[in-house]
């Protein structure tokens, strides 16, 4: 299983963009990169995933490095509701192995 490294915490001001980095240098060629987040007192929820190309959806964008050893989750305009723990998870099978994630604090 690929190992991931994420900052323990990050802070952002409301309505500003946030870039959440993740290093996954041992990722295999077939592993998708998934991002989930966990809001306080809730179960994790899916944010976005990708393989090689950058991806966009209504929640966020995912920028994947050309060598796939790192990726960045981009929240274009952080809101207070985006305060959560964000997990970067390489996934090649059924298992989601959650690391410690990045706790995002959003200042009003």
Looking at the DSSP bridge assignments, the partners of residue 102 are 86
> Which of 29, 40, 43, 108 contacts other proteins by CB under 8 A?
43
**58 token code pair:** 């209504």
What is the contact mask toward other proteins in residues 63 to 92, using x (rule: CB under 8 A)? ------------------------x---x-
| Interaction between residue 44 and other proteins (CB under 8 A) | yes
Which value, to the nearest 10 degrees, does the dihedral of the CA atoms of residues 31, 24, 37, 14 take?
A: -130
Question: How distant, in Å, are the alpha carbons of 17, 50, 81, 88 from that of 14?
Answer: 8, 26, 10, 22
* 98 part of the interface to other proteins, by CB under 8 A: yes
Q: Which is nearer to other proteins, 12 or 90 (CB)?
A: 90
21 binding other proteins? (CB under 8 A):
no
């Amino acid at each position: 299983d690929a190992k991931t490294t994420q900052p323990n915490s990050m802070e952002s001001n409301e309505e500003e963009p946030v870039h959440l980095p993740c290093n996954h240098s041992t990722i295999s060629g077939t592993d998708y990169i998934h991002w989930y987040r966990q809001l306080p007192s809730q179960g994790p929820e899916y944010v976005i995933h990708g393989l090689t190309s950058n991806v966009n959806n209504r929640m966020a964008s995912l920028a994947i490095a050309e060598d796939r050893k790192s990726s960045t989750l981009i929240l274009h305009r952080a809101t207070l509701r985006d305060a959560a723990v964000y997990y970067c998870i390489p996934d090649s099978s059924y298992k989601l192995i959650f690391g410690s994630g990045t706790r995002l604090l959003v200042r009003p």
